[in-house]
Every structure is written in structure tokens, then in C-alpha cells.
Amino acid sequence: MLKTPHTSDRTLMIVFTILVLAGPLILAPVGAGYPDLMQRFVIYGIFAIGFNILFGLTGYLSFGHAAFLGVGSYSAIWMLKLLSVNIVPAIIFSVVVSGLFALLIGYISLRRSGIYFSILTLAFAQMSYNLAYSVLTPITNGETGLQLELDDPRILDGASESGQVASPSLFGFEMSDTAVVPFLGMDLQFNVGFYVSALILIGMFYLSLRIFRSPFGMMLRAIKSNQTRLNYTGFNSRPYALTAFVISGMYAGLAGALLVCMDPLAGAERMQWTASGEVVLMTIMGGAGTLIGPVLGAGIIKYFENIFSRINESVVEGWFSALPEGVTDVLVAVVSPFLGSGWHISLGLIFMLVVIFLPGGLVEGAGRLMNLVVRLWQSRKTGASQSDTGPADGVTPAEEVSHRSVNTRES
Amino acid sequence: MSNYYLNRRKFLQGSAVLGAGLVAPTIFTRAASAYTNEPGSGSVVLGFNVPQSGPYADEGADELRAYKLAVKHLNGEGDGGMLKTFSSQVLKGTGILGRKVEYVTGDTQTKSDAARASARAMIEKDGAIMITGGSSSGVAVAVQSLCQDAGVIFMAGLTHSNDTTGKDRKANGFRHFFNAYMSAAALAPVLSEHYGNDRKAYHLTADYTWGWTQEQSMMAATEELGWETVNTVRTPLSATDFSSYIAPVTNSGADVLILNHYGGNMVNSLTNAVQFGLREKMVNGKQFEIVVPLYSRLMARGAGDSVKGIFGSTNWHWSLQDEGSKAFVESFGKEYGQPPSQAAHTCYVQTLLYADAAERAGSFNPCAIVEALEGYEFDGLGNGKTLYRAEDHQCFKDVLVVRGKENPSSEFDLLEVVNVTSADKVTYEPDHPMFAGGSLGKCNPGA
């Protein structure tokens, strides 16, 4: 099945699959092991992977990807309302619609590059947001948002039990069904919706891996390195960029559809420019142009948004309650502005640190850490045979050199 | 398949895959319990989902104060507040059904998406058995349907749209607060008395479910008086500057401006309108007037001098002199050093009503609670005799018509009650056209 050219890709794919499927087990100890957040991790992971195909490969920075997320959401909920609560038609329809929408916007926006492209996409996204919010209210239900209703026509499976709105399902498996398994004092929540999204994420990750390694991916990288030169060599680069734009728009549409399938409500705020900015943050934080980075970035930002924002003052007081009262008050006063409603501050700080010290994102950080460990291990081996200075001394200078070289390159 | 051999290894592999396939569906069935988040014997968790950012953040903060106070009183701390004056005396300050009341809080950000995410976290992560709150009807409608699907009770906080208990009503959702229709019905006679029956009205409306139904209700009520509606303009909920919407009013020939705005929106739009000198204008030979159908003290404070003499309606006001209101104001004031707002009042009452219903039903099962609340009549919670109507889960009670005080004696004494419109004057049929199109469905216990 995995016919990747590199064995390292195969390892990456296998590790990624295992990590995603073991989500409930890994996330439960950090308080994120509940279906809603796990689904968000996975869905925004798909969104960020798609965004990375455009931004990471071609270097075109789109500031309007939330528009495709929103279009995907609205298409999906209309399919759930009109056709069937089965999520398959909803997903297919929304991917097609967002693909067409991306084709339209991409065709116009890609006539410009750099900041002009970013501003064009931003303008289109804000336009879509404002349309969804006001003019298109009959289709989008405006600010209130669109939901499933009891009297939806649902042509294919309309005759369901009365009195309850059916929840989205995949051939009988309801997305909201959860099995709770006690394990080492934690409640692991195995949720159908999470696993459906997780399988799609793995498939999409594989697809993005294949795109990265393909001649098409090479072409996109060529656009990033120097589009003018590419044009002079006789290639028409625009169709390639447009294809990448449409693919990433379809990824976003898929993510939007999954959001609706997991929680059947589509609201206009999903298309707002903050949502577009969020996916840019995710990608840069994790590492633009890397395979796993966007998923990592999506996870971190959603974790902050959902877990850090819920830590209120009384929880912080609980942490320090063992200390003397004066010390507790000081610590609470120092720490609490960064938690709860101040979660944006801590996220901003982390983002700054990442951009300044790890321009390649968290993936670069992980790589450096890995290098450090490998070198430590190797020097310990050689150090043991040579029996001289401590292993740490042998490593630090080399590490510092690499550090400095990065900094000078950046400055 | 000539080269196919079934050796031991392959057989084991095959049967493992088959076994996993057969087991998979049975994994995905819920753990057996009677209903979603059945609490243990020690404590019960309530979810307080209020806006802590966005245009309704002030209301949200006051709601949270009220919730915390209600939890204190339910657990037997503090002075007991309205537990003493409540006509149903089953709550003794020993928690609910012998369980200590705990709570989790969340930020709705006044956005449907964020509110639902927050509510789902409360239900799935913290095991909340009841969700309450919301200072926007859009959010309330979204969270109410989430609670219906998840099988927990939703006790709506401050939500004034007709749709919450109209076309979007749900069996698991209950609203104590009044609604747009009631506001309009209560205001109309007062407006007619003070401003006459020959007026031209211009509406500025917050562009979402509450604004739409508020505008519809006010139009219907004022047109019945003989007023003419000149124009209706929708404004985005996120707007902070309304001058571009106010300027056209002066040239429209209208002599009344109706601001279907709430919270931060209303503070800004009213301030803009007053800055434009609308209130000093004479149009059609009459003094130009501004009406704010839904009023609150927090908004009045935010708008400062601009509110003087402006009519509006409110669900409750701290200056009321019945036993319940006095007890609540006293205990809220002792705790926080300020009188409660109407948002705080409705949230406090909703928490008490839920606890009381669980106590009377002897169970936390959502269906038992629905049964206990439907058609329930109570008194002593600040609004006089009140009925929770079974057909749409809406409370029916007196509505206050208020006016901004000309000479406030303190920073809290900003509104004066002009008229108390009795409940029967604002009651409507459950299938009234403004509320039609919805159905409660069946109560959903989840699981």
C-alpha cells in the first residue's frame, strides 16, 4: 500500500498513524481526551495540512482560507438537511463546492503574487464572511447559524423517529457515540466521530506526503524558490499554482464538512479573518513546508484555545494552595493573567519565541533536540572509549556553533 | 488463486482482523447509564456558559456572579437569598438531592461556534448535568439544540428572542427571561400614552435572531397603535460605531428612533444618536424620541447621561420591593457590593428552578426534570406569580416598563419603573404567528 520512495517516509507514516489512532490514550493525561477537542485537533490538522500544500510548497500566503472552511461547512449542513444525515454525501458535496469556489478565487487572486495575493484572498474571504452574515441570510441564517431541524426534508432518510433531530452518522454509526473505557484511573473516550476524522486525516496526510514527493510537488517548490526564473525556462507556472490552490481549498472544505458532521452547526464566524489567520499561525508554529508541522501547530493552538482558556483563578489557587498565603497570592497574581481569558497572551509569547528562535517551527525544534540527543549518545559512547572530558563539554560548543549560524543567517 | 496457501500464520492474521472487525461496532456503544452524565453520590456539576468577551461581556460577568451566589446558597453557605422566599420550600441548602453542587465556567465569546465548543467541553470533559447561560439569543439557540442532542437540560439565561421558545424551542430547554413579544406588548400602551398615536418610527436592529424578532414585535405593536414604520436597518452585532447608521435617520422624516440593540451595541448606538443631537430635534412638529425596547441597568450605566428619559422594558429591577427581590438584592450586595442586574437575576432564578425541579422530581434525569418544570407555578422569586408554560417552556410573568431617571441618586439608581404590565396582558397563544414553526420534540435523556 505505502509505495513511498523513502523508507523514512514509511516510518513517518506508520508513526503518524499510530500516534493519531492512539489519540484518546495520549491526550487523556493532559486533560484533552474528550471527543470535542480530539475531533478539533484532527479536523484542524487536515485544514493546516491543506494550507501547507499551498503555503509550504509554493510560498503563496493565503489570508483567506477560512472562506473555504465556511463554504465547506455550509454545503455539508445543507446536504445533511436536504439529502440524508449520512455524512458521505455531505463530505463529497462540500469538497466539490469548495474546490469550485477555490478555482474561482484562485483564478483571480493568482494573477498577483506576494502581498497582493495575500490581500486579494483576504478581501475575498471577508467578502464571503459579510455575505454569509447579511445578504445570504436565507441560505446561511446569518449570525445565528444554520442547524439541523426537525422538519428538514432529508429526501433519502426522512422517515426517522419523531421528536428527535437525527445526528449525523456514517452508515448507522452516530458521530456522537462514545465508548468510555476506564484505564489507569482515567476515562478514555473512544468516539466514533474522532476515529472517522482520524482515518480521513491519515489518508489526507498520506496524500500530502505523495504530493510533497511528486514531480508536481517539485514544481511547486520551484515556484517558491523563483517563479520568474521558472517562467523564463518556458514553464507556465500558473496552472501549477492554481492546482495547489484548489487542492488546499478542497482540504479546507473537507475540514469544514467534518466540523459540521461532528457538530451540526455552521456559523458565519467560521469565515472571519481571525480564522484565516489562525491557520497561518498553526502552519508557521509547527513548521511551514514540513509534513508533520501543520498538524502539530494545529494541535497546540487548539489545546491553548480550549484547555488554557478554561483555567480560571480558582484552579490556579488550587495549584499553589500548599504554599503560605502571601506567596500564593503573589504567584496567582503573576500567573493568572496568562491563563483563562488571557490565553492569547501566552500563545502570543510562545509564537514569538518560536518565530525568533526556531524559524523552522516546532519541527525544527524537535529536529535540534533529536540531534542533541544523538550527539550526546554518540559522544558518550566515544567519550567512554577515549576516557577524557565529560560528554556534555564535548557537545556544547558544537551546539552553540549551529545556534550561532542560524542566528546570523536570520539577521 | 492457485498459489494461495492457508498456513497457520495467515490463518491467525486473518482471524485477528475478522475478530477486530466484529468487535469494533460493540466498542462504540455507550457505557450503560440511565442518562447522560448521571452524577455520583458525592457531587453534581453544573455548567455556566457565559460571554466573558465580546459585546455582552458586562452581562456575562454579572451572570457569573449570580451563578456563584446561587451555588453558595444551594450548598447552604451565605444567607440563603431567595431560597427563603421561594414558594416551593424543598431546597434546604443541602445541595441538590443531597449532592454538593460544583460548577465549571466557560466563555461563549458571544459566538455560536465557541459557545457550543465550550458547552461540549463541559458535557464531555467535566460531566456537567445542566448547562445554563448565554447573553445572546443566537448563542442560546445554538447551545439549546446542542443540549437537546446531548441529552442534558439547558436553562437559558439572558435570551430575549421570540425564537428561543418559538420556532427553535426544544424539549430540554427552558427560559425564565421574557421575550421580544412581551416587551413590545408592554411598551405599546406606554408609548401611546406619552408619544401619541401618530408617529413615524425608524428601526436600527442588531442583525441576528434576537434583533429580527424584536424588530418584528415592535413593528407589529406600534403599527397597531397607528404608527408608521419609515425604515428598518440591520447592523452587525460586532459593530462598535453607529454614526454611519444614525446619520440617515435625520433625513428620513422619522420622529422616533427604535434601537433594537442590546449590551455594548446599545451603549454605542444610543451614545452616537445623542451625540448627533437627535433628542433636541423637532420633526413633523413633534419632539424626536428614542426608544430602547430591551433595557438593563448595566447598559444604562454604560450609556451614562444619554439614557435619561428613554423608555424601555426590563425583566426585573433591583428596586422592586417584594420579599424575593429584597432578599436577593441584599445577599448579592453583601457579596459583591453592588445591586444585581436583570441578567444576574434571571440566571440566579434559573439555577434555583433547576435545583428545585430536580429535588421535586427526585432525580437528575432530564425527562423527570422536564416533567417537573412543565406547567409549574411558583412565586417569591422577584417577578410575582409565574408560570412555566408546558407548551413552549416559556415563563409568563409581569413585565416592567422603565425609563432612564432624570436625577439618579446613585450610580446604580439609573432606571425608574413606570409601569408594571401584568402577565395576562403579555400572554400569547403557543401557536402565535411570531412563535409558530417550531416543535418541542421529545425530551432527550441521552445515553
User: Taking chain B, what is the end-to-end CA distance rounded to the nearest angstrom?
Assistant: 47
**CB contact (8 A) between residue B28 and residue A173:** yes
Spatial strand order of the sheet with B200-206 comes to B228-235, B200-206, B256-260, B289-294, B311-314, B399-404, B415-421
pLDDT of amino acid A391:
43
Do A44 and A227 meet the contact criterion of CB atoms below 8 Å apart? no
Do B147 and B173 meet the contact criterion of CB atoms below 8 Å apart? yes
How far is residue A370's CA from residue A393's CA, in Å, rounded to a whole number?
18
DSSP per position, A344-390? HHHHHHHHHHHHHH-TTHHHHHHHHHHHHHHHHHHHHHHHHHHT-S-
| Of residues A162, A167, A306, nearest to B117 (C-beta) | A306
Mean pLDDT of A385-391: 49
Q: Is the pLDDT of residue A1 over 60?
A: no
Mean pLDDT of B123-127: 89
The CATH superfamily label for domain B181-314 reads Response regulator (3.40.50.2300)
Per-window interface: B 35-94 vs A, CB < 8 A: 52-53
pLDDT of amino acid B31:
47
Q: What are phi and psi of B259, to 5 degrees?
A: -100, 100
Mean model confidence pLDDT for chain A: 85
Nearest chain B Cα distance for residue A155, angstroms: 20
Q: In sequence order, what are the residues at sequence separation of 6 or more whose Cβ sits closer than 8 angstroms to the Cβ of residue B224?
A: B188
Q: In sequence order, what are the residues at sequence separation of 6 or more whose Cβ sits closer than 8 angstroms to the Cβ of residue A315?
A: A339
**Centroid of chain to Cα B165:** 11
Q: In sequence order, what are the residues at sequence separation of 6 or more whose Cβ sits closer than 8 angstroms to the Cβ of residue B105?
A: A310, A312, B47, B48, B49, B50, B64, B67
Band of pLDDT at residue A327, cut at 50, 70 and 90: confident
Q: In sequence order, what are the residues at sequence separation of 6 or more whose Cβ sits closer than 8 angstroms to the Cβ of residue A30?
A: A303, A307
| Of residues A37, A164, A180, nearest to B121 (C-beta) | A37
Mean pLDDT of B294-316: 88
Nearest chain A Cα distance for residue B142, angstroms: 8
Nearest chain B Cα distance for residue A333, angstroms: 19
Count of all residues that appear for chain A in the document: 411
Residue of B nearest to A37 (CA): B121
Chain A residues touching residue B104 (CB < 8 angstroms): 310
Chain B residues touching residue A173 (CB < 8 angstroms): 25, 28
Q: Is the pLDDT of residue A174 over 80?
A: yes
pLDDT of amino acid B316:
92
* B121 in contact with A, Cβ within 8 Å: yes
Comparing B374 with B107, the larger pLDDT belongs to B374
Q: Is the pLDDT of residue A331 over 50?
A: yes
How far is residue B129's CA from residue B37's CA, in Å, rounded to a whole number?
6
CB atoms within 10 A of CB B329: 21
Band of pLDDT at residue B7, cut at 50, 70 and 90: low
Q: What are phi and psi of B127, to 5 degrees?
A: 70, 35
* B141 in contact with A, Cβ within 8 Å: yes
Q: Which of B300, B317, B224, B320 is nearest to B259 (CA)?
A: B300
DSSP per position, B230-243? EEEEEE-TT----H
Chain A residues touching residue B444 (CB < 8 angstroms): 164
**CB contact (8 A) between residue A145 and residue B113:** yes
Q: Is the pLDDT of residue B22 over 70?
A: no
* B27 in contact with A, Cβ within 8 Å: yes
How far is residue B427's CA from residue A260's CA, in Å, rounded to a whole number?
37
Nearest chain B Cα distance for residue A166, angstroms: 8
B420: helix, coil or strand? strand
Which residue type occupies B40? G
**CB contact (8 A) between residue A144 and residue B142:** yes
Residue of A nearest to B111 (CA): A269
Q: Is the pLDDT of residue A195 over 90?
A: yes
Nearest chain B Cα distance for residue A210, angstroms: 27
ipTM of the complex: 0.81
Q: Is the pLDDT of residue B23 over 80?
A: no
Do A39 and A197 meet the contact criterion of CB atoms below 8 Å apart? yes
**CB contact (8 A) between residue A36 and residue B25:** no
**CB contact (8 A) between residue A164 and residue B442:** yes
Comparing B363 with A155, the larger pLDDT belongs to B363
Nearest chain A Cα distance for residue B233, angstroms: 11
| Of residues A36, A142, A173, nearest to B117 (C-beta) | A36
**CB contact (8 A) between residue A190 and residue B237:** no
A→B interface, C-beta within 8 Å? 31, 34-37, 40, 133-134, 142-145, 147-148, 150-151, 162-165, 167, 173, 176-180, 189-190, 192, 263, 265, 267, 269-270, 306, 309-310, 312, 341
DSSP per position, B211-236? HHHHHHHHHHHHHHHT-EEEEEEEE-
Chain B residues touching residue A133 (CB < 8 angstroms): 207, 236
Mean pLDDT of A232-240: 91
For cell 412563535, the residue is B435
Comparing A329 with B242, the larger pLDDT belongs to B242
Nearest chain B Cα distance for residue A52, angstroms: 24
Nearest chain A Cα distance for residue B196, angstroms: 34
Q: Lowest-confidence range among A43-52, A258-267, A400-409, B198-207? A: A400-409
Residue of A nearest to B140 (CA): A144
pLDDT of amino acid A318:
76
Percent of chain A with pLDDT over 70: 89
Q: Is the pLDDT of residue A79 over 70?
A: yes
Band of pLDDT at residue A408, cut at 50, 70 and 90: very low
pLDDT of amino acid A403:
39
Residue of B nearest to A32 (CA): B125
pLDDT, tens only, B255-290? 999 999 988 889 999 999 998 888 888 888 889 999
Residue of A nearest to B441 (CA): A163
Nearest chain B Cα distance for residue A151, angstroms: 9
Mean pLDDT of B189-194: 92
Q: Is the pLDDT of residue A393 over 50?
A: no
**What architecture is domain B43-178+318-397?**
3-Layer(aba) Sandwich (3.40)
Q: What are phi and psi of A169, to 5 degrees?
A: -145, 165
Which residue type occupies B153? I
Comparing B205 with A143, the larger pLDDT belongs to B205
DSSP A62: -
Cell, residue B213: 424578532
Per-domain boundaries in chain A? 7-292, 310-410
**CB contact (8 A) between residue A143 and residue B27:** no
Do B155 and B174 meet the contact criterion of CB atoms below 8 Å apart? yes
**CB contact (8 A) between residue B208 and residue A144:** yes
Chain B residues touching residue A178 (CB < 8 angstroms): 28, 30, 124
Highest mean pLDDT among A402-406, B97-101, B298-302: B97-101
Q: Is the pLDDT of residue A392 over 50?
A: no
A37: helix, coil or strand? helix
pLDDT of amino acid B260:
93
Cell, residue B424: 395576562
Q: Is the pLDDT of residue A9 over 50?
A: yes
Long-range contacts of B428-433 (CB under 8 A, 24+ apart): B428/B181, B428/B185, B430/B389, B430/B391, B430/B392, B432/B181
Nearest chain A Cα distance for residue B70, angstroms: 17
Percent of chain B with pLDDT over 70: 93
pLDDT of amino acid A390:
43
Strands B256-260 vs B200-206: parallel, antiparallel or unpaired? parallel
| Of residues A31, A165, A178, nearest to B149 (C-beta) | A165
Mean model confidence pLDDT for chain B: 87
Q: Is the pLDDT of residue A388 over 50?
A: no
Which residue type occupies A294? P
Do B315 and B400 meet the contact criterion of CB atoms below 8 Å apart? yes
Chain B residues touching residue A69 (CB < 8 angstroms): none
Q: Which of A35, A52, A109, A261 is nearest to A170 (CA)?
A: A261
For cell 466484529, the residue is B22
Q: Lowest-confidence range among A115-124, A201-210, A331-340, B130-139? A: A331-340
List b or e across B393-402, with b for residues whose CB sees 16 or more CB atoms inside 10 angstroms.
Answer: bbbbbbbbbb
Cell, residue B137: 439569543
Per-domain boundaries in chain B? 43-178+318-397, 181-314
Q: Lowest-confidence range among A147-151, A251-255, A398-402, B207-211? A: A398-402
* Interface-testing mutation among B113, B123, B131, B172, with chain A (most A C-beta atoms within 10 A): B113
